Amino acid sequence: MVAARRGCYALRMRPAFSALVALLPFASACGDDGGQTGSSTATEASTSSGSSSSGGVEPTTTTPADTSGSTTVEPPEGECIFWADECGPEQKCEPYTVNEGQQFPDEIRCCPAVDNPDLVGEACDVIDYNGSCLDTCERGAFCVLDDPDMLKGQCRAYCEPGGNDCPPDETCKSFFELLNGVPTVPMCMEQCDPLVQDCIVPNWRCIPDSPTISGQSGFICVAPPPGNPVGLFDACALANQCEIGNVCVPGDRVPGCTFASCCTAYCSLSDGDASCQALDPSLVCVDWMSPDPTWEDVGVCAIPD
């Protein structure tokens, strides 16, 4: 056994916003910025978010989700399945990274569990290094870091993609699902309102929950980026890299942006364009078109198509 270390409806319809949305941070605060030039073809490189290291990835465009019918979700391959109690009584199923500092997991394995574990939603510690597969969370949960230097974070529960095992106010988010040969790691992440930025954990930010080419996603709370966040209209390379209240979008929708993606502000459709034009006269409040009516008033300040 490893000893535990405690530690309103939209008044106007706008054209769909062509979002450039990265996959989300995994076991870390998303690592370095991956180079602030960003990339619109991140699927050719690292297209998931920071992993069992303090690394992260660039925003990525993908094809829209297939809504033609149900699909069979295959569990990630490895020694065990995250959401199934398959390991021994003194072990838990975890992603494992061979080399410290690597940005994604190499495999899934049964790892030693701790005595007196931290519960889902509680503060936690990662043991040894980020990606070691050792943390202080209970079985069926993983320590998502928000302080990679001190190896501290919050326990989040694993979930079965396509299932209904997350609470009603949480989303089952799979990390690394676009990286070939890398195991996906699905976890229940708290939903949030990007107009309010109501994440409970201090300094966590509310960002889109999936990569699409036309917005149309929900929103979840994720850990902050390492270092200083990126300001309004500045270049961004990670989904969680912008300052709280802003979102990373394609550069051609942001005034003065010369990179693949830059930060702009969320806006309320029911409030109209005033808040956006106060930032820049070329901006309007463009409908994010989230499929969930909870977020039907969410827009982003962008140059219209």
Q: For 161, how many CA atoms within 13 A lie in the half-sphere containing its CB? A: 16
Does 196 score more than 80 pLDDT? yes
- 8 A C-beta contact, residue 60 and residue 237: no
Averaged pLDDT score across all residues of the chain: 77
Cβ neighbors of 191 (< 8 A, separation 6 or more) are 169, 170, 171, 209, 218, 219, 220, 221, 294
- Cα three-residue angle 242-246-249, rounded to 5 degrees: 80
Q: Which two tokens stand for residue 197?
A: 């930025």
Binned at pLDDT 50, 70 and 90, residue 216 comes out as: confident
pLDDT at 51 over 60: no
- Give the integer Cα–Cα distance in Å for 4 and 64: 43
**If you average pLDDT over residues 8-29, what whole number do you get?**
33
Segment 35-44 shows an average pLDDT of 30
Check whether 48 has a pLDDT greater than 80: no
Decide: 139 and 85 in contact? Cβ < 8 Å: yes
Residue 43 near residue 17, CB atoms below 8 Å: no
At residue 269, the 3 state secondary structure works out as helix
The pLDDT of residue 152 is above 60 = yes
Give the model's confidence band at 74: pLDDT under 50 very low, under 70 low, under 90 confident, else very high: low
Q: What is the C-alpha separation between 280 and 103, in angstroms, rounded?
A: 36
Question: What is the reported pLDDT for 75?
Answer: 55
In whole angstroms, what is the distance from residue 195 CA to residue 121 CA? Answer: 23
> Which pLDDT band holds residue 53 (cuts at 50, 70, 90)?
very low
CB contact burial 84-111 (16+ within 10 A = b; e otherwise): eeebeeebbbbbbbeeeebbbbbbbbbb
- Vertex 133: Cα angle to 83 and 162 (nearest 5): 25
Model confidence pLDDT, tens digit, residues 132-145: 999 999 999 999 99
Q: Report residue 123 as tokens.
A: 């503060």
Q: Give pLDDT tens digits for 249-260.
A: 999 999 999 999
Check if the beta carbon of residue 7 is closer than 8 Å to that of residue 136.
Answer: yes
Q: How many of the other CB atoms lie within 10 Å of CB of 251?
A: 20
* pLDDT score for 199: 95
Q: Give pLDDT, residue 70.
A: 37
Q: How many angstroms separate the most distant Cα atoms in the chain?
A: 61
Structure tokens at 232: 């309004």
Banded pLDDT at 102 (limits 50, 70, 90)? confident
pLDDT higher than 50, residue 36: no
Please, which pLDDT band fits residue 42 given cuts at 50, 70 and 90? very low
What percent helix, strand, coil does the chain show, rounded to 5? 5, 25, 65
Backbone angles phi, psi at 43, to 5 degrees: -65, -15
Average pLDDT for residues 192-206, to the nearest whole number?
93
Query: Which whole-number Å values give the CA distances from 84 to 76, 79, 80, 122, in the listed order?
Result: 12, 11, 8, 21
> Which residue shows structure tokens 């992260």?
56
Mean pLDDT to the nearest integer, 8-33 = 33
| Whole-number pLDDT of residue 29 | 30
